Structure 1
């Protein structure tokens, strides 16, 4: 009987995806960037970001030498910005310590910023054709169904079982194709809802398919009510029509990105504006906007403030700038900030 891997490879030869941007050509740098972008993000979303990124940074040396703002600017809208900061740090270390060559072994790859066990396995397997298993979201789903593994994969005990299955099935030949094949299976047939079991090459050995309940696997993350936080965001507009932005600290939410001045909801924006920026000419308050993170909701209350002559201490530090809506600088912007600036620009 053909093995699990053999069946997948036979299916992949006929139906697998072979023309994704990072597959033409396959190069360690391109594989690494794509794998980071694909963490928690769908292929269709990643493709235009990847293409723009490669156009701007065709080599790891150019990425390492770039200002962080340039990197974050190209990442704006892709979310999970720690990935971009880690990508930048990783590129600098690879250039400094590995002569610009991505390491070939998974163990060394795991020591680099932003690269965990599964990503290291994917780079080693796809870029260097090594028999290193992966366990991304698609693969977890395929294997959880294949063996009817109960429980949420976020639990260490469940992950341990899934890793064992992943490593058991990793062949020693055609490693690159197998890795792509099992990811493709999860992305195209063994999807979250309404999996296409009748077209699946490994459905006969799939415990969940035989039970008739593949949608029950993998187990779902326990639900919890997300807390709600509130903030005022000030769109402070000077006489030239430019908006005051502030760079956030390098770590934490939106680390290193440019955002709008924020105030607690009970703090008068008038006091902040007159003390730190200038006298208020007019102001408008917009309806609140909700932005959801993985662990809380943020209700944003935008306030548009037209300011008169500026206080002399405005712009005393390099973490502030006036943003020109007509000729925008290349900056990494937090997603709701980008949305608010676009909304304001459309009204002008």
Structure 2
């Protein structure tokens, strides 16, 4: 009896054949590497829940940036860890704030490096929330004013991209207007357009010292159960002037990444967040998984889902592994 069926395995017969027909490719320039800059000197604090990730003081930043550049990574995103905090997060928008100082340093040392400035208040506020607080409420419109000041200060320092992560309503419109009025019409906005209130952020709060002192962020970050709402959030940011759209976290929300990619003609960025990183690192340290294979598969899956860029703590490791494969 003659059987009629397709022979899909013909295209899997060797490593070179598989490479020939591979649809999705990772490159070092796809990655944006997060950096946590802490005030002080000679500080290199490893984050307990994120092996291999450090809080670095300015005097150690040069060596780190040189290493990042040598690996072919083109972009970093900066988070500040200030020595003092206050109710209004003034360190976020001070011209000599830690992110502003680090931005100027990086742009002087490696002018070609793309510096993305995370634009939020939570690392700088004594209460740990992403805006102005009144009682137990985070106020939307007064928070916008401080976020605009922060964005303009970061742009003045030389940030190439402003990345507001606060999830206040109207934050893209307010920051776009503020940047334009200050003469920074050419500075793009990488909006945390779809940011869920996720349990995967825990280790980041260790790194950035940004745990809320009361309540949680569920009144301004999205409910993980919602999909249609993500399209409303992304559409608002597109209409308000966003230039990139971030989906955060990555792995549990790849359906949302594909939805955003299919519906909007802007570069899509996935944030491979701290909890995702910590789980892989923990399993690898216990010998339960092949870290290299798992990480490259995970990042490839994010690109396949629609990500143009990936913010990831694995950027340096992944860039090294990709070099080894060539």
- TM-score, normalized by the shorter chain, greater than 0.5: no
Relative to the length of structure 2, the TM-score reads 0.27
